[in-house]
Structure 1
Amino acid sequence: MRQGILLYGPPAAGKDTITAALTELDALYVPFIRLKVGTGKSEGYRMGTAEQLAALEVRGDVIYRNDRYGNIYVVDRPGLDQTMEGGRAPVVHLGQMVGMEQVTTLFPAHWVRVLLWCSKETTARRSAQRGDADTAARLAAWDATQADLAAHPRAQWELRVDTDATAPREAAQRIDDMVRATSPGS
Structure 2
Amino acid sequence: MTAKQGVILYGPPASGKDTVTAALTELHSKYAQFTRLKVGTGKSAGYRMGTAEQLQELEAAGDVIYANARYGNTYIIDVPGLDDAFACGVPVVHLGQVDGIRALVDGYAADWSVVLLWCPRQVTAQRSAGRGDSDTSARLAAWDATRGDLDAHQDMAWDLTVDTTVVSPQNAAQLIDQLLVQRAGAATA
**TM-score interval for Structure 1 and Structure 2 normalised by the shorter chain:** over 0.9
1:172 to 2:173 alignment: yes
Mapped partners of 1:130, 1:45: distance in 2: 19
Counterpart amino acid of residue 36 in structure 1 = K
1:79 to 2:81 alignment: yes
Counterpart for residue 13 of structure 1 = 15
Q: Which runs of 5+ in 1 are unaligned?
A: none
Query: How far did residue 167 of structure 1 move?
Result: 0.5
Q: How many residues align?
A: 185
Mapped partners of 2:85, 2:168: distance in 1: 26
Query: How far did residue 131 of structure 1 move?
Result: 1.5
Counterpart amino acid of residue 175 in structure 2 = R
Mapped partners of 1:152, 1:55: distance in 2: 32
Mapped partners of 1:131, 1:51: distance in 2: 33
Counterpart amino acid of residue 56 in structure 2 = A
Counterpart amino acid of residue 188 in structure 2 = G
Counterpart for residue 95 of structure 2 = 94
Query: How far did residue 141 of structure 1 move?
Result: 0.6
Deviation by residue 1:159-183 (Cα, 9 ceiling, x = unmatched): 0000011110000000000011112
Match of 1:185 among 155, 165, 188: 188
Counterpart amino acid of residue 56 in structure 1 = L
Deviation by residue 1:26-83 (Cα, 9 ceiling, x = unmatched): 1111110000011111111111111111110100100000100000000000000000
Counterpart amino acid of residue 96 in structure 1 = Q
Counterpart for residue 157 of structure 1 = 158
Mapped partners of 1:182, 1:146: distance in 2: 28
Mapped partners of 2:131, 2:79: distance in 1: 30
Mapped partners of 1:61, 1:84: distance in 2: 15
Deviation by residue 1:131-170 (Cα, 9 ceiling, x = unmatched): 2111101101101101100111110111000001111000
Mapped partners of 1:185, 1:92: distance in 2: 24
Mapped partners of 2:15, 2:117: distance in 1: 6
SS of structure 2 residue aligned to 1:154: coil
Mapped partners of 1:81, 1:2: distance in 2: 11
Query: How far did residue 130 of structure 1 move?
Result: 1.5
Amino-acid identity (%): 58
CA RMSD of aligned residues (A): 0.8
Match of 2:6 among 4, 7, 10: 4
Match of 1:23 among 22, 25, 34: 25
SS of structure 1 residue aligned to 2:188: coil
Larger mean CA deviation between 23-32 and 109-118 belongs to 23-32
Deviation by residue 1:7-44 (Cα, 9 ceiling, x = unmatched): 00000100000000001101111110000011111111
Q: Which runs of 5+ in 2 are unaligned?
A: none
SS of structure 2 residue aligned to 1:40: coil
Counterpart for residue 50 of structure 2 = 48
Counterpart for residue 126 of structure 1 = 127
